């Protein structure tokens, strides 16, 4: 069996064993995870571990989330296809690549320049064309491209940033880890009902790196 075939088989097994059997039922998410090559979004020393269900380092003190959490969070956005999505904490570009197979366009913000550059390169290598990367403070969102149908926040915030809530469409959903401890959070889904009304729902407990920014954690508080 070639290395390419073995990698593809590992990816398909990951989707079956780690995702579908653990309750991920969104067909669009499962299909996207079957097609996006996670090994292209991690550092070469860790390629052999690409389809293990655990986070892996991607440099600059950051990690790529475990596949189950990526699938769980994207499924929680309740995407139907055709949406415009904002991702905060783009990392190496993996979650954006998964989203890109489901939606019309993804805008991803990564605050660390070397990771933003790596994400661009990784997305090109993976053949993804409908993702735009910006290196900036993700807690401020991307106002000139707002409003968004959905926002995925891939880092833990001390509270739900109001700036991001205001960049949702009416009916839009945001999934964001929130907690008073930078190392442990509740995963919150926010739904914007209208200009002044937002519903919040706690989905599960998670552990993410802190969301650094003017409306998040300060660098010296983590």
Q: What is the CATH number of the domain that holds 70?
A: 3.40.50.150
Inter-residue contact 107 to 74 (CB < 8 Å): no
The pLDDT assigned to 59 comes to 87
The pLDDT assigned to 85 comes to 98
Instruction: From the candidates 2, 10, 25, 65, give the one annotated as an active-site residue.
Output: 65
The pLDDT assigned to 1 comes to 45
Is 222 a residue whose pLDDT tops 80? no
Task: Please compute the mean of the pLDDT values over residues 189-218 and round it to a whole number.
Answer: 96
Q: How confident is the model at residue 3 (pLDDT cuts 50, 70, 90)?
A: low
Is 150 a residue whose pLDDT tops 80? yes
- Domain extent at residue 172: 3-221
Residue 65 bears catalytic tag: yes
- Count of domains for the chain: 1
Long-range CB contacts for residues 186-195, cutoff 8 Å, separation at least 24: 187/72, 187/73, 187/76, 188/160, 189/76, 190/160, 190/165, 192/165, 192/168, 194/170, 195/170
> Among the listed ranges 1-10, 48-57, 62-71, 213-222, which one has the minimum average pLDDT value?
1-10
The pLDDT assigned to 203 comes to 98
């Amino acid at each position: 069996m070639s290395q390419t075939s073995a990698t593809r088989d590992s990816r398909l097994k990951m989707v079956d064993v780690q995702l579908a059997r653990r309750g991920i039922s969104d067909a669009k998410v499962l299909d996207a995870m079957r097609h996006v090559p996670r090994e292209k979004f991690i550092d070469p020393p860790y390629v052999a571990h690409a389809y293990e269900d655990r986070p892996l380092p991607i440099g600059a003190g950051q990690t790529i989330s475990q596949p189950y959490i990526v699938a769980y969070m994207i499924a929680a956005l309740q995407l139907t296809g055709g949406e415009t999505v904002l991702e905060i904490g783009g990392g190496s570009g993996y979650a954006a690549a998964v989203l890109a197979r489901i939606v019309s366009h993804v805008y991803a913000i990564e605050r660390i320049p070397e990771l933003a550059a790596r994400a661009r390169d990784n997305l090109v290598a993976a053949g993804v064309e409908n993702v735009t990367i910006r290196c900036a403070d993700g807690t401020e969102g991307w106002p000139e491209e707002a409003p968004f149908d959905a926002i995925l926040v891939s880092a833990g915030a001390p509270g739900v940033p109001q700036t991001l809530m205001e960049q949702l469409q009416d009916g839009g959903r945001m999934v964001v880890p929130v907690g008073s401890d930078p190392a442990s959070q509740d995963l919150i889904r926010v739904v914007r009902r209208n200009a002044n009304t937002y519903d919040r729902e706690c989905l599960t407990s998670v552990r993410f790196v802190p969301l650094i920014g003017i409306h998040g954690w300060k660098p010296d508080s983590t």
